Structure 1
Amino acid sequence: MTATAPDVERALEDSDYVVELEGITKRFPGVVANQDIEFKVRRGTVHALVGENGAGKSTLMKILYGVQRPDEGTITIGGSPVELHSPSDAIAQGIGMVFQHFMLADNLTVLENVVLGAEKLHGIGSSARQRIREISEEYNLDIDPDLLVAELGVGARQRVEILKVLYRGAKIIILDEPTAVLVPQEVDELFDNLRELKAEGLTVLFISHKLDEVLRVADTITVIRRGTTVDTVSPQDVNARQLAELMVGSELPTPQTEDSTVTETEILRVENIVLKGASRNVLDDVSLAIHAGEVVGIAGVEGNGQAELVEVIMGMRDQDAGQIFLDGTEVSLWNTRRLREAGIGFIPEDRHRHGLLLEAPLWENRVLGHQTQKPNVKGMLIDAKGARADTERIVAEYDVRTPGIDVTAGSLSGGN
């Protein structure tokens, strides 16, 4: 049965420190992800773990959740040393984890997603449905067990993930970059949920690099730099700038007012774009212009057409009306490949599903979408030597934390 053991629940309720990590070290070929990590987590608190992209936060939490095993060090849960060989071991110790990329099946209902793998707890019918409703009400999660997951927004999906770990009896909840996919209103709702969890005596480990949010929600903050803990502080004693300096290990430069980079040269113009939906227009007479040296933000709650507008510009959808101009040339009917070759780049919202081949090495991913352009091709064939050399340049120029360009994209941390 995948659930927290009763004796573990009692130990967690009786302990001041529910998690203690000492000397945790994890090595991968060519890189040390964690080195001599040490910190303690008090029961009934939100304990934040902050650090730069690639600092080792997610690796450490995967160790605590039994996904990976440490090469050195000890993990103590509720006062007792434990060895976690799998997520099942972690769940039995009262630990649940909500990953940055949700683990939900869109074609199943909330109930079916929650009970999957935990059918022995409350069955798969009315008892399970009642338990889900009880948890939802107790922690103000506002989840209907009979809704199809495909119909839920990002914030609701995240609450389903939290409900999944609570259903299994978790007393310690790990949240990996939980606000990365949320709009501000959903962040506020998540923080309200965390306060409900804390009020019920549960403990939350909150992994993030959004310092203002960490200062809002955390009771204690541990800073990780280059795979090792450098300090544990109270949010009352530091500000965002001081936290950032702890993260990077040096004083931050003072921002200076500079001349505007925006020019009069129009690069991209979108005129009167219309994209029809099933019952209404997804895009209705949208127009905008972007000039050289300019950053244009498109704001709005998820589902209001932002993604569709980008897909129309990139040739991934055909608009029903309107025109698109690039450097004064109409490109409304150009395909995606031609638009890429003309200099329009696209970073998708979900890099795992639409941006990367996770099982392919970094240099092959560098080629994707640019397989007709130098330095990736020589004549009609892929130029592996040129692509590899340019991947090495990207790694060096943008400080990508990786042991080499032959590792898979899926092995990198989120930021990298």
Structure 2
Amino acid sequence: MEYVIEMLNIRKEFGSFVANDNITLQLKKGEIHALLGENGAGKSTLMNVLFGLYQPEAGEIRVKGKSVKITDPNVANDLGIGMVHQHFMLVDTFTVTENIILGREITSAGRIDIKKAEQEVRQISEQYGLAVDPQAKISDISVGMQQRVEILKTLYRGAEILIFDEPTAVLTPQEIKELIQIMKTLIKEGKSIILITHKLKEIMEVADRCTVIRKGKGIGTVNVSETNPNELASLMVGREVVFKTEKKPAEPKQEVLVVKDLTVKDSRGVTVVNSLDLTVRAGEIVGIAGVDGNGQSELIEALTGLRKSDNGSIQLNGKELINHAPRKITESGVGHIPQDRHKHGLVLNYPIAENMVLQTYYQKPFSKSGVLNFKEIYNKARKLISEFDVRTPSEYTLARALSGGNQQKAIIGREVDRNPDLLIAAQPTRGLDVGAIEFIHKRLIEQRDHGKAVLLVSFELDEIMNVSDRIAVIYEGKIVAVVNPKETDEQELGLLMAGSNRKEAGANV
């Protein structure tokens, strides 16, 4: 059997922590090979070894049968290996072409020949069906388009083997479909792909084989055509996973959040939340479904005090909160799981324990006369780490060292522990594995069952359908329909999200 990449018994350590414990992965030419594992299982570490960002303590890498030492990403590029990172490596103020040629500039008489570069970029873009405008500025294009630029960057450098690191974590359902099509085109054109993911649906749809790793150890490689999502989930987390969230019917009571005629502008002064009305009652989960860019982010920022509103009313338990400061809103009984956990959820260079009191550090018992009581802070953190199953070497570990799933559990622990009347959960499971998703869904439902109001904002339609008691569809900054998840399906929701009215959507089902 001819393999284009062989990673044999790779071992990678960080101090006393073993991230990859003698893992083997073999990639055939012309296949999409999924690398599956929980958050923190060691998937990205293994691929960073292949791409030359880390050096392994033991093991061998072979490219087309020949043993190689990949000392840095330039060596990986020269061997035909390209990596599309989860967090894009792009310069916002540069054009698509300027980003793609960065470090590989075409020069003529000592000057960069941007026209020639644009032609090459356009030609590669057309060959692989990427439909990217070479002259567009990165700051002006969607997240999905930015990802295509990253793919183009690897192809421009001659990559034959492409590593995709969690490529769908930030994409809308439509962009995911388009990306899957792009991957299939790449394979037809003779490329080979390693796909790092924990999304089982995508593996079943696109991968040929799948290597599973758990807690840094290789569990095995399976043919995707001979397995199913339940079996893959069990291999990944080491136990059976419940996909359907079990919950009793909601018993909604009084109105907790009442939003009327809310208007909010984005940072360019464009109205993106447009006379929006919304109600969430105690004892229910209201899901907001919509394609990214229809005002969801600005709505959450207005509700949590992170953005000023231009008009309307936001009431919590009958008290007006519009344009109040974030701390005042928090103290009024609002919990917030932000959609960007790095930017708005954590201070990455603080220990995880100190992150768990970010909303309460100035209150007793964590502070007295302005002096922090670290003994109380760390006691509290140990309790929450245990209760919310945050897997961390210790409470002193920096937040940035935790996997995405464990960072998210820490934020949820912090917010739920404050016992808010309204919990706003924005993309709470983005980029998380099935085990962490199951845990977070249970916690949201627990909040509801304790008589709290929960507002869930997610681009994952199956999450919205599975967890919500009512679904509010947002389109161009307005709630255009409120539906019962038991009386709709993904197709109707998709049509409503695209701007069809209920009658048209129903007629198309």
Matched residue type, 2:83: M
Please state whether the residue corresponding to 1:61 is helix, strand or coil: helix
**Structure 1 stretch 211-220 or stretch 370-379: which is displaced more?**
370-379
CA distance 1:340–1:31, shift in 2 (3 Å):
farther
In 2: Cα distance, 1:375 partner to 1:117 partner: 53
Quick check: 1:30–1:403 contact (8 Å CA) kept in 2?
no
Shift of 1:273: 0.5
CA distance 1:346–1:255, shift in 2 (3 Å):
closer
- Within the candidate set 199, 204, 207, 2:188 is matched to 199
Shift of 1:108: 1.0
In 2: Cα distance, 1:375 partner to 1:343 partner: 19
- Within the candidate set 212, 217, 237, 1:248 is matched to 237
**Residue 183 (structure 1) aligns with:** 172
Identical residues among aligned pairs (%): 45
Please state whether the residue corresponding to 2:24 is helix, strand or coil: strand
Where structure 2 has 5 or more consecutive residues not aligned to the other structure, the ranges are: 407-509
In 2: Cα distance, 1:45 partner to 1:235 partner: 12
> How many aligned positions are there?
402
Where structure 1 has 5 or more consecutive residues not aligned to the other structure, the ranges are: 1-14
In 2: Cα distance, 1:394 partner to 1:93 partner: 46
In 2: Cα distance, 1:331 partner to 1:175 partner: 43
Matched residue type, 1:211: L
CA distance 1:73–1:132, shift in 2 (3 Å):
same
Shift of 1:349: 2.6
**Residue 259 (structure 2) aligns with:** 270
Deviations 1:112-163 (A, max 9, x none): 1111122258955222111111110111111111111000101000000111
Give TM-score, length-normalised by structure 2: 0.75
**Residue 54 (structure 1) aligns with:** 40
Please state whether the residue corresponding to 1:323 is helix, strand or coil: strand
Quick check: 1:283–1:309 contact (8 Å CA) kept in 2?
yes
**Residue 11 (structure 1) aligns with:** none
Quick check: 2:35–2:194 contact (8 Å CA) kept in 1?
yes
Please state whether the residue corresponding to 2:151 is helix, strand or coil: helix
Q: Please state if 1:73 is matched with 2:59.
A: yes
In 1: Cα distance, 2:283 partner to 2:216 partner: 36
Give TM-score, length-normalised by structure 1: 0.90
- Within the candidate set 87, 94, 98, 1:112 is matched to 98
Q: Please state if 1:16 is matched with 2:6.
A: no
Quick check: 2:96–2:138 contact (8 Å CA) kept in 1?
yes
For 1:333-348, list aligned pairs within 5 A.
333-348=323-338
- Within the candidate set 204, 212, 217, 1:223 is matched to 212
In 2: Cα distance, 1:30 partner to 1:392 partner: 22
**Residue 350 (structure 1) aligns with:** 340
Quick check: 1:54–1:401 contact (8 Å CA) kept in 2?
no
Matched residue type, 2:282: A
Quick check: 1:112–1:124 contact (8 Å CA) kept in 2?
no
| Alignment RMSD | 2.1
CA distance 1:55–1:167, shift in 2 (3 Å):
same
**Structure 1 stretch 114-123 or stretch 188-197: which is displaced more?**
114-123
Matched residue type, 1:100: Q
Deviations 1:236-271 (A, max 9, x none): 111111111111112335858542244313222211
In 2: Cα distance, 1:75 partner to 1:259 partner: 52
CA distance 1:327–1:189, shift in 2 (3 Å):
same
**Structure 1 stretch 228-237 or stretch 176-185: which is displaced more?**
228-237
Deviations 1:348-405 (A, max 9, x none): 3333333333333323333434433455423312222222233333332333332223
Q: Please state if 1:286 is matched with 2:286.
A: no
For 1:96-107, list aligned pairs within 5 A.
96-107=82-93
In 2: Cα distance, 1:28 partner to 1:128 partner: 40
